[in-house]
Amino acid sequence: MTRLMPRLARDPDAAAAAKTRLLAANELFHDLDAETMADVSEMTNVTTCRAGQLLFGPENRGEVLFFLKKGQVQIYKLNAEGKKLVLYDLKAGSFFGEMSLLGQGMADNYAEATEDSLICAMSRGDVYALLESRPAIARRVIDHLAERVNLAEAQLETLAHEGLDTRLAIALLRASDADDVVRGLSQQDLAERVGATRESVTRMLNQMAASGLVTLARRKITVLDREGVSRRARRES
């Protein structure tokens, strides 16, 4: 990753203020007082990475906690055959990292930027110090990571026990927006979310389209019959 400070950061005071604003937008820090935010800012470095860049993996871990200001990051595993299994996608305002001190080991996980991203990174020692000195932040971290663990476990459970039609229906419902549209995902992206080949996903999507459940376009899937897709997700006929 290339280290950088925001452009207005030629002046050290301006640099500190810019970094504090980046951190204050994060879900952990949005309502902290100025003194606490200044302490947190001192502990972090601002980094940028390009889409496709790996932030950490089993052979590449250093920083322990990352705060995503801009862009998107994908957390995934590789199975025994080397196939990518996407656990979840994180958007701006989220945090992620190796948190073994809280039972959130990510030693076998990968984190990859799927868009050009701006990130604040904190070292292991500084994370420990922050959590010990700020119990309120520690509680937030625990709550958020517990939710993240539950999401990952649910995803792995689905991959292990459900058929492709059910897995794909669940993935479409999770990824669709308020207008029932899945945007920006290729069929390969969907395959990585449901643990299948792109060809299998293409066949299943075409079947769903023929049944009037969805319409297909380039990186856009519109759910026409949400109840019908939901029945598939529940394995109902």
Q: Where in the chain is the domain with CATH 2.60.120.10?
A: 2-160
* Nearest Cα to Cα of residue 95 among 127, 58, 51, 128: 127
Residue 227: the pLDDT is 96
Beta-carbon contacts of 4 under 8 Å, excluding residues fewer than 6 positions away, are 46, 47, 48
Q: Where in the chain is the domain with CATH 1.10.10.10?
A: 162-233
> Between residues 145 and 104, which one has the greater pLDDT?
145
* CATH fold of the domain at 162-233: Arc Repressor Mutant, subunit A (1.10.10)
Give the CATH number of domain 2-160; options: 1.10.3210.10, 3.90.45.10, 2.60.120.10, 1.20.950.20. 2.60.120.10
Over residues 155-178, the pLDDT tens digits come to 778 777 789 999 999 999 999 999
The pLDDT confidence band at residue 229, using thresholds 50, 70 and 90, is very high
Strand order in the sheet with 117-122: 2-3, 44-49, 117-122, 65-70, 95-97
Model confidence, pTM:
0.72
Residue 24: the pLDDT is 74
Mean pLDDT is lowest, of 32-41, 119-128, 208-217, for 32-41
Over residues 131-159, the pLDDT tens digits come to 888 887 878 877 877 777 777 777 778 77
The pLDDT confidence band at residue 194, using thresholds 50, 70 and 90, is very high
Give percent of the chain with pLDDT exceeding 70. 85
What's the CA angle centered on 152, arms 151 and 155, to 5 degrees? 90
Mean pLDDT of the chain: 82
* Mean pLDDT value across residues 38-43: 81
> Between residues 132 and 187, which one has the greater pLDDT?
187
The contacts found for 142-145 with CB under 8 angstroms, 24 or more apart, are 142/102, 144/27, 144/28, 144/95, 145/99, 145/102, 145/104
Give percent of the chain with pLDDT exceeding 90. 36
* Mean pLDDT value across residues 106-123: 86
